[in-house]
């Protein structure tokens, strides 16, 4: 955030905390430590000063190789620094 200039754009996608359940059910990969995963509340707190155009948690079907493949829970956002 400190390096993003006022009016600068940010695009983000990261695994949601629910991904831990997806790993067990689908084996779709992602970090195995909850502290490396995100919630919508954490995103709002961590990116204070961002005007979100899109902020959503969605299920997507990842196809990124042998260990990141299948249904996954991610958080996505785009925003502008105020």
Residue with tokens 């260990």: 67
Cβ neighbour number for residue 50 with a 10 Å cutoff: 22
What is the full DSSP assignment across 17-81?
A: TTHHHHHHHH-----SSGGGSB-HHHHHHHTTTEEEEEEEEEEEEEESSTTSEEEEEEEEEEEEE
Structural domains of the chain, with CATH: 11-81 (3.40.50.150)
User: In this predicted structure, what is the pLDDT of residue 65?
Assistant: 86
pLDDT digits (tens, 9 = 90+) for 4-50: 999 999 999 999 999 999 999 999 999 999 999 999 999 999 999 99
Task: State if pTM tops 0.85.
Answer: yes
Strand, helix or coil for residue 10:
strand
User: In this predicted structure, what is the pLDDT of residue 7?
Assistant: 98
């Amino acid at each position: 955030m400190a390096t993003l200039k006022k009016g600068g754009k940010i695009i983000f996608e990261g695994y949601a905390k629910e991904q831990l359940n997806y790993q067990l059910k689908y084996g779709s990969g992602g970090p195995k430590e909850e502290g490396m995963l995100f919630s919508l509340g954490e995103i709002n707190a961590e990116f204070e000063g961002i005007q979100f155009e899109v902020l959503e948690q969605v299920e997507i079907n990842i196809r990124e190789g042998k260990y990141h493949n299948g249904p996954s829970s991610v958080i996505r956002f785009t925003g502008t620094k105020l």
